[in-house]
Chains A and B, each alone.
Chain A
Amino acid sequence: MPKNIMWKAVLVLVLLVGALFYLVPTFSSNLPSWWQEMLPSDKIRLGLDLQGGMHLILEVDVAKAEQAAVERASQELRRKLREEKIRATRPEAIGDGRIKLTLLTKGEQAKFEDLIGNQFPWYDIASATTDPEGRVEIILKLKPSEAKRIREQAAAQALEIIRNRVDQFGVAEPEILPQEGGRILVQLPGIKDPQRAVALIGKTAQLEFKLVDDTVNPRTVTKATLPPGDELNYIYRRDHTTGRVSKEPIVIRKRASMTGETITDARVRVDSQYNEPYVSISFDARGKRQFADLTSRNVKKRLAIVLDGKVQSAPVIQEPITGGEARITGDFTMEEARDLAVVLRSGALPAPVRVLEERTVGPSLGQDSINQGIISMVVGFLLVVLFIAFYYKASGLVADMALFLNIIFIGAALAAFQATLTLPGIAGIILTIGMAVDANVLIFERVREELRLGKTPAAALDAGYGKATLTILDANITTLIAALVLFQFGTGPIRGFAVTLSLGIASSMFTAIYVTRLVFDLVLTRYSVKRLSI
């Protein structure tokens, strides 16, 4: 046997054995430990559409984060004005990154400008108009660069917090990726309870403590009689046996006495008396001081615990709480309490998030898809293999073997690169089965043509491979171009199709051209072939 043919055969064998090693973990569930240590042990990764799972695209409402920052700044400004003894109306956030206030004496304008320049460098004085009485109306505007920073930071923070929550939710191999335009992609494979996941991820978890105004009767209060600085809210209660929800009105202060930003930990505990779960939260040193201060000044008053604008409960402060711990009761189920602890621990989202896109596939549908995909693959494969063997006889068998090899290589490549196999991905493999034999059809038709011209089998094969190869290359490259564009454009399942299509085309060029040629060469060197079975 000529040396170069032998080396080629060795190369193909090595590749085949290597491919099989990569495939074994996918098809055998308990590998011996020495295998796991020394040999590839990654299975082919299944996409969400095959193993079941959830795909979410979230959008962080960064404009809200900016708005919140401006509101905080206006409160801060009010305090500074008092400290600096500048007489002015209460600064008000009026939207679009602007704060409005009026200086009561004109002489203090320079002092005010100093204050802004030193303490609020990221605000510009957009306008200052003096009215006839000598009062100066001022509009401050957030600098665009700072607005951009706030938005970007909010998006980054939200990503981090969501990642935190998902980690604590306990999903194997979740994927959380930032997308263009401040969007976040979340993929949760194999998730059992998608609705709970959405609730957990999307909850803003803005915790506020607000004092209850017991001077008014919440049942009779109207908009007109509501004291300024108060708001009417409701406590929702759910009867666990009937599932009926009742709501009870409550009047609370608009201003939060304290927020949840100083929370360091949140745990689920069970009340020994009523056997009901509650969430125990602990504050850091600053929060501890604040909470002690708040509770000691308001003993015997009611303190409403408000989560994302909804009153959870409003217990009476029995005595000052100085230990830096508080409990949130409400009628939670165990699961709800656990989720609440998770979101409190991971912190509040800097801005609300919205679900822009949701795709969920249940595990049973995924399994159905796998089964149907495999059946159609096997049937398609058998039909093509039989047809080719029938049409090209012995040469057809060589092509069939190359086709089989091609599928092995695609599978091995999927496992080796840890690419994701999706349902369209399976369709891609099926399509490649139909397309990979095209190369052999082109070669064989050419060989037949050359044989008709009276060439010997060896010469005909030579000419056939020589002339057809370039055409095959051209044809495959255009398909590859389309597959690449598809990879760029698609997400999830569609991307899986682009992957298997590209892999299939690439490996088919090796199997259908190189390997079949090798087989013919091997046969021709060993036997003197007078008539080619083609």
Chain B
Amino acid sequence: MELIKPGINIDFVGKSKLAFLISGLLILATFISLFVHGGPNYGIDFAGGILVQVRFKEPTDPASIRKALKPVGMSDAVIQDFGNKGNEFLIRAEKKGLKLEGLSDRIRQVLAKAYPKGYEVRRVEMVGPKVGKDLRRKALLAIFYALLMIAVYISGRFEQKWGLAAVMAAVLVGVTLLVQGIIGGGSITPLIIIALVVTLLACWVLRLRYALGAIVALIHDVIITVGVFSLLNKEFTLATVAALLTIIGYSLNDTIIVFDRIRENLKKGGKLPLAKVINDAVNQTLSRTILTSGTTLVVLVSLYLLGGGVIEDFAFALLVGVVVGTYSSIYVASPILLALPEGKPGLAKKIVPPPKKAAPQPAPAPQAAGQAPKVSKAKAAAAKQRKKKSKKRNKKRR
């Protein structure tokens, strides 16, 4: 059986402008939503507060629970029917200034008074504001480090520039830690944003094109997943962050499959323009991309529908991330490769002015001896062709 026929040829690269537009709009929507909601909707893990899951012996409703909770100052708590059976509820309060110490005990006492027939406290989560702030920092740093380490790995594996990538990462981590030490307990969000921008710029200047494509796609996936959560006003919890980190690791799989195929096709030589090579690679690996994401989506849907309320949001974040990740590895990561001018590291450009003559790559890091000439030949050929790509691409399509 075949879902996607072998000879398929869809012009993905040609549609990349449209894709960039869609992605751009989604990212814009994310920022607007975050702005309107006043930042991410932090759950109690990050905001501090209390969550109590209670199952009552008899059915009840949020209004009477609210009334019962009045003596402990939680009458404005969020009360949510858990599992839609009318007898189990999530009670959540993030009110600042709420005295959290011993609060769960006081909640038990008032519930015991209001519900003499009985109830069972099934879950209590209480996070002090201090811990919440710490966790927020740690979560952001974790996402940043994951992106950075993956950037190093991609640069190393795909461009044989291990040393360069490692030095870059070390400098970034060093600066991050240093600035963190200087600003102390303050907000690290701007710091992370600056670090990411620097990472992207470094990839651009050092011509780490595969790394650039991969990281742009990853940041894209993370932002849009965050955006979906923000638009649906879902809460950010530790589990959401775990899902984001997993997405960072997993959504790259499809990207790597395509990148590997691009490299393989480039090694074969031929006089095809880079855009064509990339588009062919995406098409050749399309069935793989769809199938691998498909099996993962199947298990995630099963987890989302059957896994129970505790894990629901986690499964949802992963679902969104896998869908967005699949889209981005087809429409975002690969076309980004075209955005970078061919070949030479930015510094060398000034030393060797005529770009056409500089066919062999003056890359600072050693190339793998056997493949180097072939690759650069293919790339140089592609470079010449690339200028005409817009005219030729359509003609060359099968």
Q: B270-307 vs A: 1/0 string, CB under 8 Å?
A: 00000000000000100110011011111110110111
Query: Known contacts being A195-B104, A364-B122, A372-B308, is A489 close to B142, with CB within 8 Å?
Result: yes
- From A434, A435, A442, A486, give the contact of B245 (CB < 8 A): A486
The answer, yes or no, to whether B108 is at the interface (CB within 8 Å) is: yes
Which of chain A's residues have a CB closer than 8 A to the CB of B260? 470-471, 474
Chain B residues positioned under 8 Å from A365 (CB to CB) = 53, 122-123, 310
Pair B142/A438 contact, Cβ less than 8 Å: no
**Is the pair A383, B124 in contact by a Cβ cutoff of 8 Å?**
no
* Interface residue from A358, A474, A489 paired with B139 (Cβ < 8 Å): A489
Cβ-defined contact, B298 with A497, below 8 A: no
Interface status of A69 (Cβ within 8 A of chain B): no
Interface presence of B203 (CB below 8 A) = no
Q: Tell me, yes or no, whether B42 is within 8 Å of chain A by CB.
A: no
Is B238 interfacial (CB 8 A cutoff)? yes
Contacting residues, chain B, for A498 (C-beta < 8 A):
242
Question: Which residues in chain A, 414-436, are within 8 Å of chain B measured between CB atoms?
Answer: 423-424, 427, 430-431, 433-435
Q: Give complex CA distance A442, B294 in Å.
A: 13
Which has the most chain A C-beta neighbours within 10 Å: B123, B245, B264? Answer: B245
Q: Given known contacts A380-B302, A479-B253, is B238 in contact with A355 (CB within 8 Å)?
A: no
With A and B bound together, what is the CA distance between A391 and B292 in angstroms?
A: 13
Asked whether A475 is an interface residue with its Cβ less than 8 Å from the other chain, the reply is yes
Among B61-69, B144-152, B161-169, B378-386, the stretch in contact with A: B144-152
Chain A residues with CB under 8 Å of B238's CB are 490, 493-494
**Stretch from B16-24, B127-135, B331-339, B362-370 that touches the partner:** B127-135
Complex Cα distance A313/B389, Å? 92
Cβ-defined contact, B153 with A49, below 8 A:
no
Contact B256 A485 (CB under 8 A): no
Complex Cα distance, B122 from A49, in Å, reads 11
Q: Flag if B245 contacts A427 (CB, 8 Å).
A: no
Q: Which residues of A contact B299 (CB under 8 A)?
A: 380-381, 383-384, 430-431, 433-434
> Which B residue's beta carbon lies closest to that of A452?
B6
Q: If A445-B288, A478-B252 touch, does A434 touch B298 (CB 8 Å cutoff)?
A: yes
- Output the nearest chain B residue to A436 by Cβ-Cβ distance: B295
A94–B250 alpha-carbon span in the complex (Å) = 58
B250 in contact with A379 (CB, 8 Å): no
Q: How far is the CB of A203 from chain B (nearest CB, A)?
A: 12
> How many residues does chain B have at the interface if contact means C-beta atoms less than 8 Å apart?
71
**Are A437 and B295 neighbours in the complex by a CB distance under 8 Å?**
yes
Known A358-B104, A372-B307, A474-B157; contact A485-B149, beta-carbon cutoff 8 A: yes
Q: Are B303 and A380 in contact (CB under 8 A)?
A: yes
Structural contact, B124 and A478, CB atoms closer than 8 A: no
Q: A431–B295 contact, CB under 8 A?
A: no
| Shortest distance between the CB of B231 and any CB in chain A (Å) | 24
A365-B123, A441-B288 known; A481 vs B307 contact (CB < 8 Å):
no
Contact with A along B65-91 (1 / 0, CB 8 A): 000000000000000000000000000
- A354 at the binding interface (Cβ < 8 Å): yes
**CB-based contact A424/B153 at 8 Å:** no
- What are the interface flags for B110-146 relative to A under an 8 Å C-beta threshold, 1 for contact and 0 otherwise? 0000000000111111111011000000110110011
A46 CB to closest chain B CB (Å) equals: 14
**Interchain nearest-CB distance for B192 vs A (Å):** 14
Q: B145 to chain A: which residues have CB within 8 Å?
A: 485
Name the B residues within 8 Å of A369 (CB-CB).
308, 310-311
Q: Is the CB of B295 within 8 A of A494?
A: no
Q: Tell me if A97 is interfacial: C-beta within 8 Å of chain B.
A: no
Q: Does A157 make an interface contact (CB < 8 A)?
A: no
Complex formed: what's the CA distance from A467 to B267 in Å?
14
Flag whether A356 is at the interface (Cβ < 8 A): yes
B289 → A minimal CB distance (Å): 10
Contact B249 A358 (CB under 8 A): no
Q: Is B229 close to A, CB under 8 A?
A: no
Chain B residue nearest to A180 (CB atoms) is B134
- Inter-chain CA distance A415–B389, complex, in Å, is 57
- Contacts of A424 on B, CB cut-off 8 Å? 239, 242, 311, 314
Residues on B with C-beta less than 8 A from A482 are 146, 150, 245-246, 248-250
Q: A211–B259 Cα gap in the complex (Å)?
A: 82
Closest approach, in angstroms, between the C-beta of A352 and any C-beta of chain B? 11
Residues of A within 8 A of B303 (CB): 376, 380, 427, 430-431
Q: Which of A434, A477, A494 meets B242, CB within 8 Å?
A: A494
Task: Judge whether A479 and B250 touch: CB under 8 Å.
Answer: yes
Q: B: which residues have CB within 8 A of A?
A: 1, 3, 6, 53, 55, 100-102, 104-105, 108, 120-128, 130-131, 138-139, 141-142, 145-146, 149-150, 153-154, 157, 238-239, 241-242, 245-246, 248-250, 252-253, 256-257, 260, 264, 284, 287-288, 291-292, 294-300, 302-303, 305-308, 310-311, 314-315, 318
| Chain A contacts to B: CB under 8 angstroms | 49, 57, 59, 194-195, 198, 354-362, 364-365, 368-369, 372-373, 375-377, 379-381, 383-384, 387-388, 390-391, 423-424, 427, 430-431, 433-435, 437-438, 441-442, 445, 448-449, 452, 467, 470-471, 474-483, 485-486, 488-490, 493-494, 497-498, 501
17 example contacts (A-B, Cβ-Cβ < 8 A) are as follows A57-B131, A355-B101, A358-B125, A362-B121, A364-B55, A369-B308, A372-B306, A387-B294, A391-B1, A427-B311, A438-B292, A442-B292, A452-B6, A482-B248, A482-B250, A485-B142, A498-B242
Other than the given A357-B127, A449-B284, A479-B250, 9 more pairs (CB < 8 A) read A354-B128, A361-B123, A381-B299, A383-B298, A424-B242, A437-B292, A452-B6, A474-B157, A494-B239
